[in-house]
Amino acid sequence: MLPYIAAIVAGLVLLVWSADRFVEGAAAASRHAGMPSLLVGMVIVGFGTSSPEMVVSAMAALDGNPGLALGNALGSNIVNVGLVLGATAVLAPIAVRSEIVRRELPLLLVIGLFAGWLFLDGALTRLESFALLAGFVGVVGWSIHAALRGRADALADEMDAELAVPSMPLARAIFWLVVGLVLLIASSRLLVWGAVGIAEALGVSDLVIGLTIVAIGTSLPELAASVLAVRKQEHDIALGNVVGSNMFNLLAVVGIAGSIAPVDALPSELLWRDWPVVMALNVVLLVMAYGFRGPGHINRVEGSLLLLAFAAYNAVLVHSVMVPAAMATGAAG
């Protein structure tokens, strides 16, 4: 058990560090190429902060653990809204001024419904996975279009301020881009090995491990980025980072995993427990942040409610693991 725990801890630390280097290198290289700051933020940084989930799920699928990959994707969405935005709003209420972010919130709901519709038949085929990846390409195209046309948007102003500092030299940017990607792959494989080992040792499904340990670990970049953004009064970056990451998770992370290793029989609890929680949190986020009668916001009370929802969901997960284990122990006795 100890080697698996050590692998998870080392994998998570290296994963977060390498993801940060990868994002910094990619953003700096893009700025050297003359890309607008809003485009860098929405596409390059958004893609980069979701890179841990993408790489971990790809490694899990390649190793024949699609449950871990799906758990990581859905669990990361739950972590992003419940823990990341909840904790961020408790530290500093989040104001939503960007029209781009307001348009992304309903789109996130549509993507969640589309993913759930694909799950309804109890399987995830390669064709369905390709459909998700096609949706991901469409979202990236829309993000590029919105970034090029959104120069007067509040998010654009925040991105200009965030990326106004001199970037690193191009050679160093390329170096960290390459090194970060290599270390992302290495740390992801280490993390997956440890997570599967823990699941087997505890007798729980890799889906649960993906929903908890792995999902929280791969969402640490979003947590750090969101807390740092609100401390700089860059509220739209904090929310936009989470919304963009959640769209990428449902489309790219699930799509990549399913295209590598199609799933003939999805875990039933994914349909009745995990996906509904993802959708419920997305609806709550829309209501809180959209601002139907003016600028939207997520205040400290609402942030606390998100944290409570996240805690309640994880309590259900723990209960689902502990009760069968106790019954098995009693039967053996």
Task: Output the 3-class SS for 53-77.
Answer: HHHHHHHHHHCCCHHHHHHHHHHHH
Q: Tell me the percentage of the chain whose pLDDT exceeds 70.
A: 88
- In the chain the domains, ranked by start, together with CATH numbers, are 2-319 (1.20.1420.30)
Task: Give the pLDDT score at 148.
Answer: 74
Confidence of residue 16 (pLDDT cuts 50, 70, 90): confident
- For the segment 12-35, the average pLDDT, to the nearest whole number, is 80
Across the chain, mean pLDDT equals 84
The secondary structure element, H or E, covering residue 243 is helix 235-248
Confidence of residue 323 (pLDDT cuts 50, 70, 90): low
- CA-to-CA distance for 147 and 103, rounded, in angstroms? 13
Does the pLDDT at position 121 exceed 80? yes
| Cα angle, residue 132 at apex, residues 129 and 136 outer, rounded to 5° | 140
pLDDT per residue as tens digits for the range 127-160: 999 999 999 999 988 887 877 776 667 776 776 6
Asked if 246 and 108 count as a contact pair (C-beta separation under 8 A), the reply is yes
pLDDT per residue as tens digits for the range 282-320: 999 998 887 666 667 899 999 999 999 999 999 999 887
Q: CB count, 10 Å around CB of 224?
A: 15
Confidence of residue 196 (pLDDT cuts 50, 70, 90): confident
pLDDT per residue as tens digits for the range 261-288: 999 999 989 999 999 999 999 999 998 8
Asked if 142 and 257 count as a contact pair (C-beta separation under 8 A), the reply is no
Given the structure tokens 């499904």, which residue do they identify?
Answer: 205
